[in-house]
Amino acid sequence: MSPACAGARSLDVLRWRAGQAQQVDDWLTEEVPVALQYNGVSHAVMLATPLDLEDFATGFSLSEGIIEQAGQLYDCEVEHGSLGITLHLEVATRCLEVLRQRRRTLAGRTGCGLCGTDSLEQVLRPLRELPANARASVGSDAVARALRALRTQQRLNAATGAVHAAGWCDDDGRLLLLREDVGRHNALDKLIGAMARAGADASRGFVVVTSRASVEMVHKAAQAGVPLLVAVSAPTALAVQTARSVGMGLAGLARGDDLVVYSGAQRIRLELPSTTSTSLIPT
């Protein structure tokens, strides 16, 4: 399998195009059950693309508040089985105690990051307000540049057309890290994990995602300390409320040079495509 199709498999399909039928090979995204076990205790099963699993384990653990820093995940052993993949994770004892107090039995879904949550308290866990040093503004031209880079570097999506992506960008819109997955929440978790494992400073730069911005996406980004989340589609009302409550920038419907700022207007400088700056949104 070529590197461009890692995370996909080739299947024989019948294609109907321009009035003609043709038997062809097509690349399809892999979607497998991935179980996360912490210190031998089963915690969640997610349907995911089996790529960057150590990033996924780290990012999920961070965004769910199970660990506070990547170093608290001591080990990640990947076990492939006939029914799926198990990630055997070893965490600090005090992290395991937090996990036991907030047990979740997640049914693996790609559309909802809250499926299987036991109580309302677990849905909207308290978030810390973003620190003052995470309030630098980003130009709208940098956002447009980041979105262009995201489209061109989605190798798995180019092969299959069926995955989401999340990218970490610097203030100039240069794409520094990118992760893909059939689930939008998983893609973001993988990115958060990759950032943490690389020692990236989450307070500098912003995250772009090829999906809508649900409250779960906002929660994960805020938990990681990301000051600005940019989504290709629109956010939900609860996502906007959550972003505003912690001082996080949230932009949606970001396509080409256009976007809508829903929270944290001070975090985005609206600039004309010619890079001439204009103050169109009050700060």
157 Cα distance to chain centroid: 15
Q: Residue 2 — very low, low, confident or very high, per pLDDT cuts 50/70/90?
A: very low
**Could you report the per-residue pLDDT of 100-150, keeping only the tens digit for each?**
776 654 444 455 555 445 555 555 678 888 876 665 689 999 999 999 999
Measured distance between the N- and C-terminal CA atoms of the chain, rounded to whole angstroms: 50
Average pLDDT, the chain: 88
Residues 137, 180: contact at Cβ < 8 Å?
Answer: no
- Whether 76 sits among the annotated catalytic residues: the reply is no
Distance between CA atoms of residues 198 and 155, nearest Å: 21
Residues 150, 142: contact at Cβ < 8 Å?
Answer: no
Residues 167, 180: contact at Cβ < 8 Å?
Answer: no
Range 195-210 average pLDDT: 95
Q: Which residue of the set 5, 95, 112, 115 is catalytic?
A: 112
H-only helix segments in the chain: 53-63, 93-101, 120-123, 140-152, 155-160, 184-198, 215-223, 237-246
Residues 72, 62: contact at Cβ < 8 Å?
Answer: no
Going along the chain, which residue ranges are E strands?
A: 8-17, 20-29, 32-38, 41-48, 73-80, 85-91, 138-139, 164-169, 175-181, 206-209, 228-231, 249-255, 258-263, 268-269
Domains and CATH numbers, the chain: 32-123 (3.10.20.10), 132-269 (3.40.140.10)
Distance between CA atoms of residues 230 and 136, nearest Å: 15
Report how many helices (DSSP H) and strands (DSSP E) the chain contains, helices first: 8, 14
**Could you report the per-residue pLDDT of 203-261, keeping only the tens digit for each?**
999 999 999 999 999 999 999 999 999 999 999 999 999 999 999 999 999 999 999 99
**Could you report the per-residue pLDDT of 41-100, keeping only the tens digit for each?**
999 999 999 999 999 999 999 999 999 999 999 999 999 999 999 999 999 888 888 787
